[in-house]
Amino acid sequence: MIDRLRQVFGAAADPQRAAPMRAYMREQFPFLGIPSPARAALSRPLLRGTFSEADLRETALACWALPEREYQYFACDLLRRHARTLTPASVPLLRELVTTKSWWDTVDLLAAHVAGPMVRSHPELASTMDEWTRAGTDHWLVRTAILHQLRYRGSLDFARLSDYCERWAAEPDFFIRKAIGWALREHAKTDPAAVRGFVAAHPALSPLSVREALKNLAPAGAPPAAR
């Protein structure tokens, strides 16, 4: 799989595109220079088929060991496509991927599309998300826990999300503040009153978190928009 992936991606590399892609990620990772649509098309045949959990873990770790960022994106896509295969035995893998070569581009994919489905399929893993939001934890793990219910809609556990947001409300880290606001904003699509109430009851929330949380909500008491 990795040899084939390197052949396919290597043939599509574009150094001229790689430079601005690297700059966008603050020079943290080298890139091959493959745009997202082209990468998705190249990846599609490789993502098909049946993979064991061991196959998924081995492939993801091998992708993480390669320098160019497109390989980490492929690993995220692979785990996302086959998330139902992952069991609690893959929590160490998830933790390693979140805490190494960490940046929002991979962490957010892993949070919403890998951690989230894993917890949904194995509810006992909610306690792992709880552990990841305790004081002293790596901030990327905290962001993952806050965002893991991002696609849950009506099945979201708002008490748990509220606990995470309250626990980290005063955190100065930009990515934590942004995650709090994003998670609340997404839940506001389902229960706007709950999000308004939470924001009003927690003055310690940063202006960024509040702005993000209320971004798509009309002010309380405002008349409904004309159709």
The tens place of each residue's pLDDT in the chain, 227 residues long, gives 999 999 999 999 999 999 999 999 999 999 999 999 999 999 999 999 899 999 999 999 999 999 999 999 999 999 999 999 999 999 999 999 999 999 999 999 999 999 999 999 999 999 999 999 998 889 999 999 999 999 999 999 999 999 999 999 999 999 999 999 999 999 999 999 999 999 999 999 999 999 999 999 977 655 444 44
Alpha-helical segments (H) within 27-168 = 36-47, 53-65, 69-81, 91-99, 104-110, 116-121, 126-132, 139-147, 158-167
8 A C-beta contact, residue 139 and residue 176: yes
Q: What angle do CA 177, 143, 130 make, to 5 degrees?
A: 115
pTM: 0.94
8 A C-beta contact, residue 125 and residue 149: no
In the chain, the amino acid numbered 197 is: G
